[in-house]
Structure 1
Amino acid sequence: MPTAAPSSKFSVAIAAAALLIGSAAAAQPAAAPDTENGRYALSPAGDGFLRLDTRTGAVSTCTNSGSGWSCYAVPDERAAMDAEIGRLQADNERLKAELAAREPATGKTDEALPKSDSLKKAEPKTAEGERKIEIPLPSDRDMDRVMSFLERAWRRLIEMANRVQRDANGGKI
């Protein structure tokens, strides 16, 4: 058996050491970059992922387009609602302060209101000296309008009955 030259033994040892160091490095998980540090949590969703920023709570949708992965922030309805509530509270406080700054109303406010109601319909007239209620009769024009309406309705009803009868008889009367 031929003996190996000392330089070849040395290169074999260096190669083995390099292989051992390389396999040890591959066995360890890759360290996350300092900027992420486990900051994002990904969940599959549709054709991409939902990305949750664990520091701020912001949610983004990430999809793979032809040019690469891109993430877009999902609108936060809660933030919009909180902003609207804040705006309304500030507006309410402003209006309260404005109302308090006004001068008090002048005049007597404890007076009784009048007994008549302006929205109430007028009662039917009573004949003088009698307790009978007079109800005005419709005019001739009103009666003509009602009769015209009833005649048209009656004609339409008869036409409809004739159509139903024709349809039931197969087009024959």
Structure 2
Amino acid sequence: MQTTHSVPLLCVISLLGIASASAQSLPDGENGRYTLSPVKDGVVRLDTRTGTVSTCADAGNGWTCRVVPDERAALDTEIGRLQKENESLKTQLAAKSDVAPKLKESERKIEIPLPSDRDMDRMMSTVENAWRRLVEMAGRLQRDYGGKI
């Protein structure tokens, strides 16, 4: 009878041994350095020291982990490239402005031509017509309201 009870006990101990062996084959360790999260085909591993994320799976001949591309690294690379390009463009712009002839303050003045006599006559005619219409309108208003304005 003791033999029948020891068989299930041996099975449980064997299963615990297999479970601990499979847990040891996962890429976990180094005093809690990695945090593992189960996914469909394996685990996602976060390196708590570097922030690197990897996907790990059992490829049949052992566990392999592949680093997940980091968008932040790509953004940092692009920012660095744009900063270098910006500095290059600033340098080019400064070089062009040094080559361009510098004008004296007196040479920068904008000259506006005076109106011709014909333009002045047209303007005076327009003002006279507007004044005449205004006076006529004031006269009509006084007549319509009997001089009470």
The TM-score, its normalising length taken from structure 2, stands at: 0.47
Higher RCO (CA-CA < 8 Å; seq separation 6+): 2
The TM-score, its normalising length taken from structure 1, stands at: 0.41
More helix by share: 2
